[in-house]
Amino acid sequence: EEKKMAFQKGFLWGGAIAANQAEGAYLADGKGLTTVDLLPTGQKRWDIMMGNLSSYEPLEGEFYPSHEAIDFYNRYKEDIALFAEMGFKALRLSISWARIFPNGDDAEPNEAGLKFYDNLFDELLKYGIEPVVTIAHFDVPVNLVKNYGSWRSRKLVGFFEKYATTLFNRYKDKVKYWMTFNEINMLLHLPFVGAGLVFEEGEDKKQVKYQAAHHQLVASALAVKACHEISPDAKIGCMLAAGQTYPYSCNPDDVLDAMEKDRDSFFFIDIQSRGKYPGYAKKFIKDHNITIEMEATDEEILQNNTVDYIGFSYYASRTTSTDPEINKTTSGNVFGSIENPFLEKSEWGWTIDPKGFRITANQLYDRYQKPLFVVENGLGAIDIPEEDGAVTDDHRIDYLNKHLQELSQAIDEGVEVLGYTSWGPIDLVSASTGEMKKRYGYIYVDKDNEGNGSLERSRKKSFDWYKEVISTNGENL
């Protein structure tokens, strides 16, 4: 029997990174401080990520992993050459807002910042690698947080629109794939990470989060509008931290609970892709006494400027139960989930569920009927180099191989997928923990959690595996 080719010709194979987790050079060439530059490692990181910030300056005696990260800012040529060697067709990366507008509210953009990304895109295009660009990946210029309250302020909509428009005008000949906000639903879970929110004592957090969400959704729609006008041949998408929620049992209470948990996330994409607040969201807002201040044209803006594709990350599925006993088990660190007895977990407690990837892809495609783009997937794991420096990361190969098999099944089932960029093709700083030892890469970076190491790059076993996957277009998975 002839083997069916699931991945179409031109499928965008590659990897995904984010400015703040890779670039370092946190004050180089006029860049301003961003929210992530205030996140140290350890428990303090969690407190700040939840919205409890005490200082708008980095503190003495704390270690801030974003400040140097993996020094991609100075080493991008070497790294891109390695991506090209693996045969990458695409690299997803983000632009650091504060490199372009160091204070967020500057009258003019910072030319040195713009130039850096020009050089970066040119380097990618030299190898035929398509840049896939996230406009905001977990960073807000600190000045906007300090002086405006970040996304709680309507002003941010205008600042973001100006920032996005600057990017479309400047890079319209180089960039054909854009995304507005990385994992926009993260705002509800890690409000400082997702939206730069810092809470005041006693304030209604839900109120603040949903108002900020509204501002991001309007800003996202305005960016879509500007992109379509300035760069009509480009595609612009949203980006969801996905992963279906399973009911622990067939008790309808559990099933309903799972549906509602998924809606916390779909809320964002329903608006970005279908163009309006869904009924369940209106009810939720009313039931929680949330008042969303809207301007007269907001509904029209949302309605007329929906996204071209659905970008999403998938690491794990989630499980939920309404039984208090079962609820005592937990799994993962960002999304609330209980343990799924059928599945294994990573060293960081994230459920490993390849079939859930297929289920999630189908679920998203059924709901939105727009092309999907898998812009993150991968296994965060500890890699210990052998004497000779070799890293035999069979656990990673196994994870990725199984996930890609399921993705190919989803494609066979009719799901349209533009591409697949695995997370962290080169080891980088973990977003949730700030660690270096939570590694995702095909390329090892010599650096530890405390910032020691030569920053030297080397190929892991998975490097050759992924190279083969790309060169055969996934035929031998």
Chain contacts with ligand BG6 (rule: CB under 6 A): 18, 21, 182-183, 241, 313, 376, 380, 423, 430-433, 438
Parallel/antiparallel/unpaired status of strands 235-242 and 309-314:
parallel
Q: How far is the CB of 76 from ligand BG6 (least distance, A)?
A: 18
Residue closer to ligand BG6 by CB (options 272, 473) is 272
Residue closer to ligand BG6 by CB (options 92, 170) is 92
Q: How far is the CB of 296 from ligand BG6 (least distance, A)?
A: 34
- Taking residue 386's Cβ as centre, other Cβ atoms within 10 Å add up to 8
Question: Can you tell me which residue has the tokens 């407690």?
Answer: 349
Q: How far is the CB of 448 from ligand BG6 (least distance, A)?
A: 16
Cβ neighbourhood burial of 288 (10 Å; 0-12, 13-18, 19+): exposed
Q: How far is the CB of 337 from ligand BG6 (least distance, A)?
A: 14
Answer positive or negative: Cα dihedral of 330, 313, 182, 64.
Answer: positive
Question: Can you tell me which residue has the tokens 């708008």?
Answer: 56
Q: How far is the CB of 69 from ligand BG6 (least distance, A)?
A: 12
Question: What is the C-alpha end-to-end distance of the chain, expressed in Å?
Answer: 17
Residue closer to ligand BG6 by CB (options 131, 380) is 380
Residue closer to ligand BG6 by CB (options 226, 241) is 241
Is 376 catalytic? The answer is yes
CA distance 372 to 362: 10
Q: How far is the CB of 333 from ligand BG6 (least distance, A)?
A: 8
Residue closer to ligand BG6 by CB (options 402, 437) is 437
Closest CA to 161 of 146, 174, 180: 180
Residue closer to ligand BG6 by CB (options 247, 354) is 354
CA dihedral 254, 189, 285, 211 (to 10 degrees): -170
- Could you tell me how far CA 139 lies from the centroid of its own chain? 11
Q: What is the token pair recorded at 206? A: 């839900």
CA distance 64 to 320: 34
Q: Which residue is nearest to ligand BG6 (CB)?
A: 432
Q: SS3 of 314, please? A: strand
Q: SS3 of 215, please? A: helix
Residue closer to ligand BG6 by CB (options 237, 247) is 237
Quick one: which H or E segment has residue 332?
A: none
Q: How far is the CB of 376 from ligand BG6 (least distance, A)?
A: 6
Cα→Cα distances 112→2, 79, 178, 224, 473, Å: 53, 21, 21, 26, 38
Closest CA to 84 of 476, 468, 475, 467: 467
Residue closer to ligand BG6 by CB (options 73, 423) is 423
Q: What is the token pair recorded at 467? A: 């190279």
Cα→Cα distances 215→8, 106, 312, Å: 37, 20, 21
CA distance 103 to 148: 11
Catalytic residue, chosen from 161, 376, 406, 435, is 376
CA distance 228 to 308: 10
Q: How far is the CB of 15 from ligand BG6 (least distance, A)?
A: 12
* Those residues with Cβ within 8 angstroms of residue 183's Cβ, 6 or more apart along the chain or in another chain: 138, 194, 239, 240, 241, 313
Q: Which residues are annotated as catalytic?
A: 376
